[in-house]
Structure 1
Amino acid sequence: MDAKVNRTKRVLSVFDFDGTLTHRDSFIPFLRFAFGKRLFARRLVKLAQPTFRCIRKKLTRDELKEVLIETFLTGVDEHWFRQQAEAFCSAYWARLMRPSGLLAVAAEVNSGAEVTICSASPAMVLQPFADRLGIKLIGTLLEVADGKLTGRITGHNCRCGQKVKRLESIYGQLEEYHLRAWGDTRGDYELLATAQDAHWRHFHPAWSKLRSPVKKLSLAERNR
């Protein structure tokens, strides 16, 4: 019965970006690319203490990311930033993207599904990648005032439960869709638990797929 119902629902296919569609994180390499190695290194030094505090659980991942964004992006021209994002996409596409991930995205698009990236990385950085893939994008929003980045984010970092909330804010109740999701880190657990089709590290080598949280989380979600 459930299978018949699912076939009548629209399919919403959601891909995490960093580590899922890519071989590695994209934001730090983008910052190094955009600001150059010397300026990048100088500013990175300022993050040593906050990073140490994060390791000691004195600072959350979200708070550390806010410090990173404030350190690098305060007062940066929005137009320049978007230009750098376009250039980064062109320069890093081949080395960053997983071929198997690209094929999976294309297959979902060709099947008629609604397809989107849902990522904690800044949407401005990932927009050229989403455009090239021909799909939609949900990401962390950078605050802009008078054409300049303020060094703050708008709303919340798009990870963990925020991924589900952002999807619902755009697509409505997710129960109305047959939700397919791909992820690879703790930040994707809630998304994967919500999906009828959950794929943990689907494009990774076989050894990295061990101890998948998908089944356990899905059962926990259904028993709430």
Structure 2
Amino acid sequence: MRKLALFDFDGTLTTKDTFIEFIKFYRGAFKFYLGFMLLAPILILYKLKVIPNWRAKEYVITYFFKGESIAHFNEKGRAFAEEFIPGMVRKKALDKFNQHIAQGDLVMIVSASAVNWVKPWADKNGVELIATNLETKNNRLTGRILGRNCYGSEKVSRIGSQIDIRDYSDIHVYGDSRGDKEMLELATHPFYRKF
């Protein structure tokens, strides 16, 4: 039976949250910090668990990206993946990631970050990606998430919609946060903050 390796992206394969870094890359440091000052009340409500993760995320996406052309957004996503993500990747995590690929395991990145900047990196490394999709209307971002945010139990649902976990005797899961808890429970070999 083949082995399965599931990797969270932000904070597990990378040293930083790529969503935050992508906003800085896209809007520049001044607009980034100004935006987060204005969004502070929303982020406090999220930290206090008054509003859920996906809702807080939509507020951030709406503020920074609503109305942006999806073609331009994807172009910036590709540029960010090429220019910045390689410098954020943890060496030990990448070594483990490449080891699974070399062994012929099915390797999947399962991320709450958006497809738009994670997919170019996943494609370059020849692995599958499950991530959050952003809604568009008339080829422009609406500020909303399409479907559900790929976080927590949604990670497990999305994995189950793509593969049958029972086909794998060895399941290696790598995660670093509360959003990975349910995915880590699938593992025969869970790795939590090991890098």
Correspondence for 1:91 among 83, 105, 111: 83
Q: How many residues were matched structurally? A: 194
Structure 1 unaligned runs (5+)? 1-8, 204-224
CA contact (8 A) 2:15 2:88 kept: yes
**Pairing of 1:8-27 with structure 2 (within 5 A):** 9-27=1-19
2-side partners of 1:143 and 1:93: how far apart? 23
Correspondence for 2:126 among 107, 131, 134: 134
**Pairing of 1:72-87 with structure 2 (within 5 A):** 72-87=64-79
2-side partners of 1:91 and 1:189: how far apart? 30
What's 2:166 paired with? 175
Amino acid at match of 1:176: D
TM-score by length of 1: 0.82
Q: CA deviation at 1:176?
A: 2.1
Does the residue aligned with 1:150 lie in a helix, a strand or coil?
strand
What's 1:213 paired with? none
Correspondence for 2:56 among 64, 73, 83: 64
Amino acid at match of 2:81: C
What's 1:215 paired with? none
**2:29 aligned with 1:29, yes or no?**
no
Structure 2 unaligned runs (5+)? none
* Aligned structure 1 segments of 4 or more residues deviating by more than 3 angstroms: none
Does the residue aligned with 2:150 lie in a helix, a strand or coil?
coil
Q: CA deviation at 1:43?
A: 2.6
What's 1:218 paired with? none
CA contact (8 A) 2:78 2:116 kept: no
What's 2:116 paired with? 124
CA contact (8 A) 2:4 2:107 kept: yes
2-side partners of 1:13 and 1:24: how far apart? 21
What's 1:165 paired with? 157
What's 1:206 paired with? none
